[in-house]
Structure 1
Amino acid sequence: MARVVVIGATGHIGTYLVPRLVTAGHEVVAVTRGSSRPYRPASSWAEVEHVVLDRSALEKEGKFGSRIKDLNADIVIDMICFTLKSAQHLVEALDGSVQHFLHTGTIWTHGHATVVPTPEDIAKNPFGEYGTHKAAIESFLLAKARRHGFPATIVHPGHIVGPGWAPLNPAGHFNPGVFTTLARGEQLALPNFGMETVHHVHADDVAQVFMCAISNWAASIGEAFHAVSPAAMTLRGYAEAMAAWFGQKPDLVFEPFEEWAKRQDPDEARATWDHIARSPNCSIDKARTRIGYQPRYTSLEAVEEAVTWLISDGQVAQ
């Protein structure tokens, strides 16, 4: 088995990935800033080596890459790289010393989709700082892998869902109060006709894609894979399904986005625009056929688990 370094190990995905790696027999090193804990407990964390590193500070000193290299990993999984400069710094340090390097991307690298379900390898139209930076990292890593043999794989998660944090809701933002509105059968306003899409994924299914890529090294090197549920949802369909889950009949009204936004919190309206302007609907055919990804959760099943936690935590009232 391999020695695996996971950078950002206690976040949404790492909470599920690290125990999977330990169970598979790998020696795992969890690199964090030391300020966070996994979202759910697991006895396997006792077998994990913990290393505290401040990435931002070390990158300013030009030392982060060398500190990761000194951990002598066979596999490095980077959960928290957000700029091309950061990626280049780490790859320069690890080039020639690792068997596999896996980067966490995002489906936002697609920007405006031209085909749905959207395959990984179609021409991309990213916009916004996050999607644009992640697209630049992807281009760099794929070129480094395909032209120079650096063993990189990219995993692009959708809207990550799991117990411990609020999921993207049917209004396209993260206020748990939307679920309370649906639980009580109250009227919920949605932008436009509610036909824009969102594409959730359970954090454990994202972890599964990483495990599949590691287990299928030859098929995953130099490739990018979506980590999403089997199907995206429209905002309207999502709202109707959640109302039914609460035992309610949905009471939905629809308004042009500009009118709808006037009655929303400005930050929440901006978050909604960010999501519906992209309206992701991504294919998992490549991940299924090449590395054997079989998602356990539909979008709704993933959200229902998260909302169950929100109810128990007192963030959603019925």
Structure 2
Amino acid sequence: MQKICVIGGSRYFGKLLVKRLQAAGHRVTVINRGSTPPPAGVEHLVVDRNDEAALMAALDARTFDVVVDQVCYTPVQAAIAARAFAGARRYVMTSTIEVYDPATAALPAVPAGMPVPEEIVDPATWLVAMDLPWHDDVYLEAHYAEGKRQAEAVFARAGRFEFASVRSAHVLGGGAQEFTGRLAHYVGRITKGDEIAVHAKALPTVFIHYQELADLLLWAATADFTGPVNACSDGPLDVHHLAAIIATQAGQEPVYRTVAAGEEASAFSFDRHYVMSNARAKALGFSFSHTTDWLPGAVAETLTAEPSPTARN
């Protein structure tokens, strides 16, 4: 049994992670702003993580074996957390595939079609700029990927605990729980016969089921590796393959509209190869499912779920 703190953990795979940590026998504490209470038996600290003094007071000299940070988006937040949880043995941050987006940073070249390995973005060497307007919501939305990269960098250099980051693929599944609304967007358009905007040559990306991501975070919390790991199911899909799986479940053929160069397409239609390698996680002992094993079930859940608002993955 370990004392594990989850920052966030109020919805989707974070909520599931809390339940699985508790079921595994760990003593779990959840920190959030009070929007959703955790399960019975889980300690709940209501505090804004951005308020360092309030966070320190809420912790009240508590120490944890492991911290799993679900909601760190900026280097400023990372610096506060690194100080507040300096007594932890291990710190795991949920990161994102978007750290590899070449549109948001100058990254080393990867051979065309090659799944991107973790070393392409090395948090130990990434430049950190604390003086950028990270507290501005509009700026943060526009610089989401860079905020994640810099947050990883702050933790990697903190030197106070073992640090690992989990770079998640696009998360799907859970019906109404899937707060991004992206799978629901596709299901809705296909069932209604509405057009899906796609690139002339749509290239593949990677996905992960929300339950598999919760499993991986549980594994990462109790492992001893450090550094980033990519989290994605086997089997990349392009937008046409994704839509075909949805169409089979919905009984309705998709209708496509090809966008001009530079025009915005639907989510998951990419004009660049956007695939991560999950080889490191496998080598460390985690086994992934194949996307086509769980996607039909996720589509079926979405077909019967109420629509949810779109948000950042």
What is the CA–CA distance in structure 2 between the aligned matches of 1:154 and 1:257, rounded to whole Å?
34
**Structure 1: unaligned runs, 5 residues or longer:** 39-44, 262-268
**Which is worse superposed, 275-284 or 46-55?**
275-284
Q: 1:102 to 1:65 in 2, by over 3 A?
A: farther
C-alpha distance in 2, partners of 1:80/1:195? Answer: 31
Query: Residues of 2 paired with 1:82 and 1:211: CA distance?
Result: 21
The one-letter code sitting in structure 2 at the alignment partner of 1:178 is Y
Q: Closer, same or farther in 2 for the Cα pair 1:167/1:239, shift >3 Å?
A: farther
Identity level (%): 23
Corresponding residue number in structure 2 for 1:254 = 258
Instruction: Name whichever structure is richer in helix by fraction.
Output: 1
Task: Give the match for residue 141 of structure 1.
Answer: 155
For residues 67 and 60 of structure 2, the distance between their equivalents in structure 1, rounded to whole angstroms, comes to: 9
Which of 182, 198, 201 is the matching residue for 1:191?
198
TM-score by length of 1: 0.77
Aligned partner letter, 1:108: E
Provide the secondary structure at the position in 2 that maps to 1:47.
coil
The structural deviation recorded for 1:299 is 3.2
* 1:231-242 alignment runs, 5 A limit: 231-242=235-246
The structure 1 residue matched to 2:288, chosen from 295, 305, 309, is 295
Question: Whole-Å Cα distance in 2 between the matches of residues 103 and 278 of structure 1?
Answer: 27
In 2, are the aligned partners of 1:201 and 1:302 still within 8 Å (CA)? no
Q: In 2, Cα distance between the equivalents of 1:11 and 1:195?
A: 31
Residue 18 of structure 2 corresponds to residue 18 of structure 1: yes
Name the SS for the 2:118 alignment partner: coil
How far residue 194 of structure 1 moved from its aligned partner, in angstroms, is: 5.0
> Alpha-carbon deviation of 1:211?
2.0
CA drift of 1:196 comes to 2.7
Q: CA deviation at 1:142?
A: 2.3
1:85 counterpart letter in structure 2? V
Residues 229-271 of structure 1: per-residue CA shift (max 9 Å, x gap): 1132111221122212323444434232556x4xxxxxxx5x7
- Where does residue 214 of structure 1 map in the other structure? 221
Partner of 1:157: 168
Residue 70 (structure 1) shift: 2.8
Contact kept? 1:160, 1:167, Cα under 8 Å = no
1:67 corresponds in structure 2 to: 58
2:119 matched to which residue of 1? 121
Partner of 1:284: 278
Please give the alpha-carbon distance, in whole angstroms, between the structure 2 residues aligned to 1:257 and 1:303. Answer: 30
65 and 13 in structure 1: CA distance in 2 versus 1, 3 angstrom threshold: farther
**Distance (whole Å) between structure 1 residues aligned to residue 244 and residue 258 of structure 2:** 13
Q: Is the partner of 1:240 in helix, strand or coil?
A: helix
Q: Secondary structure of the equivalent of 2:29?
A: strand
TM-score normalized by structure 2? Answer: 0.78
Q: Which residue of 2 aligns with 1:108?
A: 98
State yes or no: 1:90 paired with 2:97: no
Aligned residue type for 1:132: E
Q: Which residue of 2 aligns with 1:41?
A: none
- Give the number of equivalent residue pairs: 283
Q: Compared with structure 1, are the counterparts of its residues 242 and 155 closer, same or farther at alpha carbon in structure 2 (3 Å cutoff)? A: same
Contact 2:37 2:44 in 1 (8 A): no
Contact 1:229–1:299 (CA<8 Å) still a contact in 2?
yes
Q: Match of 2:71, SS?
A: coil
* Distance in 2 between residues matched to 1:237 and 1:89, nearest whole Å: 43
Secondary structure, aligned partner of 1:197: coil
Aligned to 1:178: 186
SS at match of 1:280: coil
Deviation at 1:31, TM superposition (A): 1.5
Q: Which residue does the alignment assign to 2:302?
A: 310
Aligned residue for 1:233, secondary structure, equals coil
Deviation at 1:282, TM superposition (A): 0.8
User: 1:191, 1:256 within 8 Å by CA — same for their partners in 2?
Assistant: no
Contact 2:45 2:58 (8 Å CA) reproduced: no
Q: Tell me which residue corresponds to 1:264.
A: none
Counterpart CA distance in 1 for 2:178 and 2:43 is 29
2:30 alignment partner AA: A
Following the alignment from structure 1 to structure 2, what is the Cα–Cα distance between the partners of residues 249 and 229?
Answer: 26
Give the alignment's Cα RMSD to 1 decimal. Answer: 3.1
